[in-house]
Structure formats: C-alpha cells, structure tokens
Amino acid sequence: MTVIRPFRAILPNPEQAARVVARPYDVLSAREAESIARENPESFYHISKPEIHFPQYIDAHTPFPNEVYEAGARRLREFLERGLLIHDTGIHYYIYTQRMPHPFTAGQYIEQTGLVCLSSLNDYESGMIKKHELTRPDKEQDRIQHIRFTRAQTGNVFLAYRPLPVLDALIEKWKNTHQPAYHFHGEDGVEHIVWKVNHLTAIAQITRIFEQQVPCTYIADGHHRAASAALLRREWMQEGNANPADPHQFFLTTLVPADQLFIMEYNRLVKDLNGYDPESFLEKLKASFEITEPQDAVFRPQAPHQMGMYLPVSRAGRQGRWYGLTVKPELIPDDAVESLDVSLLQNLVLTPLLGIVNPRIDERIVFAGGIRGASYLESCVNSGEMAVAFLLHPVTPEQLFAVADAGKMMPPKSTWFEPKLPDGLFIHSLEETEIVHPIEWFEAEKSQF
C-alpha cells in the first residue's frame, strides 16, 4: 500500500504569494537567483538559496559552510515573523493545479493537477516509491544541511502514479464545489491554484484510495530532495528518534497521475564531428538509421526511435539543415534502458562515431532541456559553437515506469518536466507535532456520535 498523510503546511501569505513563491532551487544558478532576489526581498530564493548573500560562495560547489545554511534558517524565521509565510490553521491535503502556456504552440496550455501531501520515507526505503535516477553525494549533502538547519523540507518532490478514475473524480468534484485558497501567477508566468481538502471524510477517503489502490509511486523529479530527506531521517533514527509518527519519517510530495505528465525531451549538442565532414558523417549514419532528405523545417520526432538532426550542409558552411533519423528495427534492444532514444543515440552515434564514451564528463557534449526549443539548437550550430544537434522524442511515462519497475536507472539528462513544482508554496515543518493517521482520526471522530 502507498502511505500518504495530510499535514499542516507552512504557506505564503495569500496577498504576498506571487512575490514569495519561486522556481525550484536547482533549476537556476546562484547568480540568476541573486539577480532576482536583489529586486525582490520577499523572494523565497533568500531561503532556498542562501548562498546568494555570500559573494565568496556564489560560484562554489555545495555543500556550503554552516554559516550559509544558518542564514537560510534565519530568513525562514524572519519570513514567518513578518507574516510573509504563515502556518496553516489545520491539517489538510492540498489539491494543486498548475497551468502554463504551451512553450511551442500558441493558444494552447499545459495543465496538471496533483495532490500535495506527505509521503512515507519507509515507502522510499522499501522501493515502493520507485527511482530512475542516480544522485550525487554533494547535492545530497547540500539539501541535508538545508533541512538540518531550517528544520523544514522546502523542496517538493514530484511523484507520479498510474491514473485512477475514482481519485480523478473525487479531486475534480472538490475543485468544482470549493473555492480555491490560492490563485496567482508566479514570476515565470505559471498559474497556481490551490484548494484545501479540509473535510475529514474526504481526507480519509483519499488516504484509503492510496492505501488500497495505488501499489507504488514513481519519482518524476526531485531525486536529490527525496534522497536527502531519507538520509537525514536514517541519521536521526540512529540517534534514537524512531517514533513512526515523527515528522521526519515523511517527506513533502506532490502526486500527479501519469496521464497529466508533460515530459519534454533532453536534447544533445556536440562540438565537433570527431574528424568527419558532414557528408561522411551522414554516410556513416546510414548503417544504423533510415535518413530523410534534408529540409529547412524542423524535424520533430513523432514517435520513439525517431530523432531530428541539425547538421551543417558542408564543412565550410555553418548554416544547417534538418534530417529525420529512424533507428533500424533490428538495432532496437528488448531492454527498458537500452531501448530509450537517449541510449540508442549514445550507443549508435555518440560512442562509436563521435568518440563520446562517458557523456557525464566529456566536455564535447552539451545537454539542452526541451524547454529551450529547436531554435536554440539551430542557433548553436549556425554560430559554429556546435557541429551537430540532436532533437529527441520525449521519454513517455510508460518508458519511465518500465525503467523504474526493472530497478534500473535512466541515462543522465533523459527527461525534462514542465511545469516544475515551485519552492515556497508548501513547506513541511519538522517542528510540527506527530503526523496523524487520517483513518484512525476519522474512526475516533465517528465514535463520538
């Protein structure tokens, strides 16, 4: 069963929410955050990226000295004292809708609705919350220190689950019959709408659905945040803090059904052709791909195992053309990881032809999140900065689940999720009292009548 719990969140003051809420701490550099926070003293970056107040650490690697994390904790207290952040009045689940303009299609929007709750770190440790990405110890230690000093989880972990019509119906009914507690647009133009599920019957219903009908969940985004919460909890349990209802036994999550995920591709650019000219490189590719005629229009893959390639027309010219590459069927392995397009590109092109054996450390390869668009790939090649660009098909939710179900890890830079869960809209304080069991709470309330 999947264990989730309602909680008493720390939330932004509704009147200040648009200025407080910020993009997640790990999607922009300290310099970018400092530039924004300098103009906005209410920005959550003052808490989530406290290194922006220490010029000597702006370009440093994490984790930072204790004084940096102490500054983040101090500013969290200050935000509470100033009323920029407030403790919620009760224990709730939160229904959370994000809506953003489609990055490439005018007039269309991307919308996802999730349930904000606490998820069990026992589930994480046992593998019922499934992972697909390796984590880095330095990034884990950064968030461990941030949680340790602030006594709060400020980073929201994005979990996915296979859709359940009964849960969809319950959430839609609540949205349609209750007024939102928050409705605002963030600094990046994303629309945020929050409803509080504050009725004990509904809270118990939601809890039962997850306990009885959701066998597992999957981390979509936030592997480092989840790992950090689990490692710190393990440390505290070894020190004797083993009460299963303690706040540190849980971590802050938003659960979204897989049919609402918007996964974008993670594209690749390479700085040189490893001695090939464009014509001979194309000729080499024919052993593994069916290749379309060159075209000026972007070739955007319509299915897995297709990819677009932007390549200069000659060694002397910088202006490129688009080609469609389709992997020959006999070269597609029957393996959840090796059949991914990022793996096929690596194994059929990057390693054997371009000499990029380890993309994690090779400085000749650059990764570009799909949010940048095809025009960014074109500009990098046309400028001469890059020799070739590959536009991939996004990983599907089914592919992601298959990798996680097999207990395997995705290759680096495989997925880009939009919209991302912000920081500062929901905070899980570890100084709260015990986390309640909603069904026991519900049964106790019923017994009084």
The pLDDT, as a whole number, for residue 105 is 86
Mean pLDDT of the chain: 94
Q: Give the type of residue at 79.
A: F
Rg (alpha carbons) of the chain, rounded to whole number: 23
**Average of pLDDT values for 197-211?**
95
Q: How far apart are CA 152 and CA 154, in angstroms?
A: 6
Q: How far apart are CA 410 and CA 76, in angstroms?
A: 35
CA distances from 305 to 267, 327, 328, 394, 417 (A): 14, 6, 9, 10, 20
**Average of pLDDT values for 115-129?**
98
Q: Is the pLDDT of residue 449 over 50?
A: no
Look up residue 438 and give its two tokens. Answer: 């909603």
Q: How far apart are CA 197 and CA 194, in angstroms?
A: 10
Q: How far apart are CA 257 and CA 221, in angstroms?
A: 14
pLDDT in tens, 216-249: 999 999 999 999 999 999 999 999 888 999 999 9
The pLDDT, as a whole number, for residue 437 is 83
Q: What residues form DSSP beta bridges with 96?
A: 114, 194
Counting every residue written for the chain, the total comes to 449
Q: Is the pLDDT of residue 447 over 60?
A: no
DSSP state for residue 395 in the 8-state scheme: P
Q: How far apart are CA 135 and CA 122, in angstroms?
A: 19
Q: How far apart are CA 18 and CA 366, in angstroms?
A: 33
Give the side-chain half-sphere CA count within 13 A for 426. Answer: 33
Look up residue 30 and give its two tokens. Answer: 């300290």
% pLDDT > 70, the chain: 98
The pLDDT, as a whole number, for residue 412 is 87
Looking up tokens 């389709």, which residue turns up?
326
Q: What residues form DSSP beta bridges with 311?
A: 321
Distance of CA 93 to the CA centre of its chain: 21
pLDDT in tens, 76-110: 999 999 999 999 999 999 999 999 999 888 899 99
**Average of pLDDT values for 163-170?**
96
pLDDT in tens, 359-399: 988 999 999 999 999 999 999 999 999 999 999 999 999 99
The pLDDT, as a whole number, for residue 108 is 93
Instruction: Kindly indicate the confidence band of residue 315, based on its pLDDT and cuts at 50, 70 and 90.
Output: low
Q: How far apart are CA 402 and CA 339, in angstroms?
A: 11
Look up residue 263 and give its two tokens. Answer: 């996964």
Q: Is the pLDDT of residue 257 over 90?
A: yes
Q: How far apart are CA 100 and CA 420, in angstroms?
A: 10
Instruction: Kindly indicate the confidence band of residue 317, based on its pLDDT and cuts at 50, 70 and 90.
Output: low
For the range 69-74, what are the long-range contacts, defined as Cβ-Cβ under 8 Å and sequence gap of 24 or more? 69/145, 69/146, 69/148, 69/149, 69/150, 70/149, 72/46, 72/47, 72/48, 72/146, 72/149, 72/150, 73/149, 73/150, 73/151
Q: Answer yes or no: are the C-beta atoms of 146 and 208 closer than 8 Å.
A: no
Its pTM stands at 0.93
Cis peptide before 419 (omega within 30 of 0): yes
Which of helix, strand or coil describes residue 445? helix
Looking up tokens 């049964």, which residue turns up?
443
Q: Answer yes or no: are the C-beta atoms of 264 and 371 closer than 8 Å.
A: yes
